[in-house]
Structures are given as C-alpha cells and as structure tokens.
Amino acid sequence: MREARRRAELTQVQLARRLGTSQAAVWRWERGVVEPPWSTVLRAASACGLAVCVSLQGVDPDEWRLVEAGRNRSPADRLHELERYSRFVRAGRKAMRRAQPRG
C-alpha cells in the first residue's frame, strides 16, 4: 500500500481522506501492524490511480521444503533469523541512501 501511495505522490493523510479512514489506519496498514481486508487494498490502489493484478503460478517445490524446515525450528530460532534479516535489510537501505546522488 505504501508503494502505491508513494507512486501517486500522496501523503498518508491524503490517502486516508480518499478512503474515508484515518491517517493512523493507513500508517498501521503500511507498517504491517494491521492487515487490511482485500477490498481495502483494491480501493487503496484505485485511489492511487493503480490497479491490482493477480496471477496464479505453479508452486515451487523448494518453497514447501523451506516451510517444512521452518516448522521444525524453535520460536527462538525463528526470532533470531528474523532479527538477522531485519539487520540485513536496514543495512541495505542505509547503503542505498548513501549511494543516492545528493543534489
């Protein structure tokens, strides 16, 4: 939803007004605190001048292997992996900001 809003060059307040909701609701959706209903996702895309296209694809067998492997891990192991991934993403974003030309 954030990507759609940014492409439309809208603030959270502007999108919220178009959807008849609050800026706080938009913030929660964008942060993943609350998962909006599919109908809201479609309305938000439309409010941003975009359309959502869904396609069905075959299942990658490796995906199921990863799911099964994850199910056998402890919650502490899962949390550790999530923290590691979060640090990786933050470092990548920081590097991208440094690499952007200043002007």
Average pLDDT over all residues of the chain: 91
pLDDT at residue 95 tops 70:
yes
Number of other CB atoms surrounding residue 37 within 10 Å: 8
Q: In this structure, what token pair is assigned to residue 35?
A: 């998962």
CA dist., res. 55 & res. 59, Å (int): 12
pLDDT at residue 17 tops 70:
yes
Give pLDDT, residue 103.
62
Give pLDDT, residue 66.
84
Q: In this structure, what token pair is assigned to residue 57?
A: 């694809």
- In 3-state terms, what secondary structure has residue 50? coil
Range scoring the smallest mean pLDDT among 15-19, 52-56, 58-62, 80-84: 58-62
* pLDDT tens digits, one per residue of 54-80: 898 887 888 888 888 888 888 899 899
Give pLDDT, residue 91.
94
